[in-house]
Structure formats: C-alpha cells, structure tokens
Structure 1
Amino acid sequence: MIPREHIATAQIPGGDTLELVRHGRDFIVMLGRNELMGTRMQFSEEQLAELTLERLQTPKPRLLVGGYGLGFTLRAALRLMGPQGSVTVAEIVPDILDWARGPMAELTGNSLRDPRAKIELCDVAALIDDAMDGTSPPYDAILLDVDNGPDGIVRDGNERLYTRTGIGRARDALAPGGLLAVWSAAPDHKFARRLKDAGLDVEERTVRARPNNKGPRHTIWFARKGP
C-alpha cells in the first residue's frame, strides 16, 4: 500500500487549513479528512472550460475563473482558446499558487506564464463587482469552481456567490449573450431554479470526474444571459 506523503499546508483566509499530499504520482488537496480536489479527478474541471468555450463560439473570449484549484480549468481554457483570448483567475489562497510553481510545477507547465492568463489574488466576487459597475469590461463567461458548489461551501462568505443577489451580480458582469458556468460536486435543484429566476437560459450537464467515464458524477450549469 502506497503511503500518503505530506507536502505542505495552507490557510484559507477566515477558514480552515488545506493540506497538500502526494500519493504515488498523484497530488491531493485535503480539507481535514476529506479530499477537496486531486489530480486523479480532473476531467469535469477541464470540461468546465471546454464546454463553456464550445458554447461561446467567439474568437476573442474574455473569461473569469473563480478558483485556481489545481489549474485544470485554466490549462484547458488556454489549450482551446485562440491567441486573442484571455483568462483571469481569482484565487484567495497564495499558497495554492506556490504549490503550482513548486511541487506541482511539472503539472502546471507554462500556464502561469502564458500572456493570455492573469492571476489575481482576490475574491472572485470583487472582480465580478468591478465588471458589473463598469470598472472593468464585461466578461464573455464567468466560470465558478468555488468550494464544492452551491451546497458544498468550504469558506464562509462564498455562499453569497450562489444567492439570488450573487447570481444577479454575475449576470450583470457578463456581456450580452455571455455565460455563467458553475461547477458542483452534486445536483442542486434550488440553485438551478435561482438561475432561471434571474432570467438566465439554463442548461444542466452531468459529467464524470475521470475521462474514462468513471469516478463521481459532477454537475455543471451553463446559464446564458440574453442578447
């Protein structure tokens, strides 16, 4: 049996402690005894970017990603978008990026140095507010992979992203026809209803955590703003 090797710890602002461990060739981020994310279950995070870009069909997409995680969503977006696209990633835990550049550098590759990528050490809600009030341009898509979804909050304060008010702010930060794409570890019918109540056209997809059609089933909502 392969033992787990502790690599590092990080503090979530105003919240709990994360632990990075290595299990053979895989990395896992633990929250207490629970696996928050890991390199063996990357497919649905990649699908968050891939399926969003398929639905945008624009040569110059401007994306906002809430949460770097292990970087799968960012790397998928950079791989699939053209040279004129851009991705801003909001991450509140600086150590996460240190891990990406350090023990997980081989996985990270050149993504954090890609000129199309910008990393902001802040709450994604702040960047949504900037676009909503016109301080920055609107986004073609906002991709939220924060905690474990609307019903899996890890950090106090993140629940506001999934309230009626939070959804409305995200909608107003989108360009006409833009998408709010939300990843979740589980279905949430009440959240889907809130998206529809905000006047968004909602599509719900179930995707597997692993590309071989195995692993847990995760949910992604694609909520489109009107033209």
Structure 2
Amino acid sequence: MIQRELLDTAWIPDGEKMELFRHDKDFMVVIGHNELMSTRKWGSEEALATMAYDRIRNAKRPHVLIGGYGMGFTLRAALRVLPENALVTVVELVPEIIAWARGPMAHLTENHLEDPRVRLVMGDVAHVIEEGHGDYDAILLDVDNGPDGLVREDNNVIYSKVGLRNAKRALTPDGVLAIWSAGADPVFKRRLEKAGLAVDEVKVHARSNGKGAKHTIWFSTKSE
C-alpha cells in the first residue's frame, strides 16, 4: 500500500496549520482532518472560472480577480477561456502555496503564473477588494471551505455585509461576483440578496467527470 507522504507545512496568518501531502501521483492540502484541496477533485474549481466567464463575455478587456490560488485549477481554467487582452489578478495569502505551485506541483501549473496576463499579489484578498472601485469584471473567491471561516476566522470579513458591499463596489456595472463553497448556505444566499445582488446558485460536481459530491457556487450581479 502506498503511504501518504508529508511534503511541507505552512501556517496561515492568524489561522491554522496547513500541510501538503503526496499520495502516489496526487497531492492534497490538509488542515487538521479536513482535506482543503486535492488534485483528485477540481471540477467545481474550474467551473468557478468558466461559468463566470460565460457571464462576462461582452467585456472588451476583461479584468478578473481570483482570490485564493489554491492548486491553480481556477486560474488555469480562466486562462483557457479568457482572451489574450485579459488581465487576471491572483491574490494569495500564504507564500508556501505559491512555493508549492512552483516546486513539487510545478508540472501541474504549466507556468501559468508566468502568463503575461497574470499579476500575482501576495496578501489578503479582502484588502484588495476594499481598494477596488469598478475595477473587476469578475471576482472569483475560493479562499475558504465556504462562508464560514473554517480556514481562517478573518475570512469571515469577506462574507460579511461590509465585505459584500466592498465586492459590489469593486465590480464593473455588469460584473459578477462568484463565490465557491463546499456546500449550500441559505443564510448566506439571503445575505447576498440583502446586499443588493441578484443571485444564481449553481450546484457543480466536485469531480470533472460529473461524479461524486456537489459543491455550490453563487454567481451574483448588481440588482440595484
């Protein structure tokens, strides 16, 4: 039996210990007993990008903000569908995530971080969003397990009334806010609506083959 191998450990600022494991050809990032991300399941992470782009196809020079690099599945899917004149700002809080992408998982990244359309920002995506004023055609958020601050309590700010108001202000008039979650959350959906956003809740299979559990993505646009 092939044993799971611990490759590296990182600490999330003001958060939990994060561990990178390899099992045969697969990688997984784990916090405690929770598997945060894995190369076995990436269908919904890709859908976060492709389904968001379906909603902003009319943008002449789309600017997409991706909060949380993860294992890069959302970025790679975005670069596949976005035009050559697009700009993608990727914000990642944990330096080791980028080091892993350029190190043990380099064969998965395919140098996408070096794509001329990509601008990498190390820091808190909440701060980047707060500074935005009509800058982004799409904001794609996958910074936690959902709007519950499992990974880092400070992530709750992103999903708060203030955080959603900031995201709404950072979008272009026809922009879309797309938020990934491991599961449904009716309370959060209502919070989106109260923030003046029209919400389309979509269930997406975790695996690209259409099997396994389903994740939730909220696609929100300005309703007022």
TM range (shorter): over 0.9
Secondary structure at the aligned position of 2:71 is classed as coil
Secondary structure at the aligned position of 2:162 is classed as helix
Q: Distance in 1 between matches of 2:110 and 2:140?
A: 22
- Report the alpha carbon displacement of residue 172 of structure 1 after superposing the two structures with TM: 0.6
Q: Distance in 2 between matches of 1:59 and 1:24?
A: 43
Aligned residue in 2 for 1:138: 135
Aligned residue in 1 for 2:3: 3
The reply on whether 1:117 has 2:118 as its aligned counterpart is yes
The reply on whether 1:36 has 2:36 as its aligned counterpart is yes
Aligned residue in 1 for 2:194: 197
- Report the alpha carbon displacement of residue 216 of structure 1 after superposing the two structures with TM: 1.6
The reply on whether 1:160 has 2:161 as its aligned counterpart is no
Aligned residue in 2 for 1:47: 47
1:63-89 Cα offsets, whole Å, 9 max, x none, are: 111100001001110111010111111
1:65-115 Cα offsets, whole Å, 9 max, x none, are: 110000100111011101011111111100100000000000011201001
Q: Distance in 2 between matches of 1:4 and 1:193?
A: 41
Secondary structure at the aligned position of 1:214 is classed as coil
- Report the alpha carbon displacement of residue 129 of structure 1 after superposing the two structures with TM: 1.2
Aligned residue in 1 for 2:83: 82
Letter aligned with residue 4 of structure 1: R
Task: Using structure 1 for the length normalisation, give the TM-score.
Answer: 0.95
Q: Distance in 2 between matches of 1:26 and 1:221?
A: 28
Q: Name which of 202, 207, 211 aligns with 1:210.
A: 207
Q: Name which of 189, 196, 219 aligns with 1:222.
A: 219
Q: Distance in 2 between matches of 1:55 and 1:138?
A: 16
Q: Distance in 2 between matches of 1:124 and 1:143?
A: 10
Contact 2:181–2:216 under 8 Å retained in 1:
yes
Contact 2:149–2:155 under 8 Å retained in 1:
no
- Report the alpha carbon displacement of residue 152 of structure 1 after superposing the two structures with TM: 4.9
1:10-56 Cα offsets, whole Å, 9 max, x none, are: 11011111110101110000111221100001010000000000111
Letter aligned with residue 89 of structure 1: V
Unaligned runs of 5+ in 1: none
Q: Distance in 1 between matches of 2:141 and 2:158?
A: 9
Q: Distance in 1 between matches of 2:161 and 2:106?
A: 38
Aligned residue in 1 for 2:97: 96
Alignment RMSD, CA only? 1.2
1:136-168 Cα offsets, whole Å, 9 max, x none, are: x61111111011011352112100111111111
Q: Distance in 2 between matches of 1:78 and 1:61?
A: 11
Task: Using structure 2 for the length normalisation, give the TM-score.
Answer: 0.96
Letter aligned with residue 136 of structure 2: Y
The reply on whether 1:147 has 2:148 as its aligned counterpart is no
Unaligned runs of 5+ in 2: none
Q: Distance in 1 between matches of 2:88 and 2:222?
A: 19
Q: Distance in 2 between matches of 1:47 and 1:152?
A: 22
- Report the alpha carbon displacement of residue 199 of structure 1 after superposing the two structures with TM: 1.2
Dislocated runs of 4+, deviation >4 Å: none
- Report the alpha carbon displacement of residue 59 of structure 1 after superposing the two structures with TM: 4.0
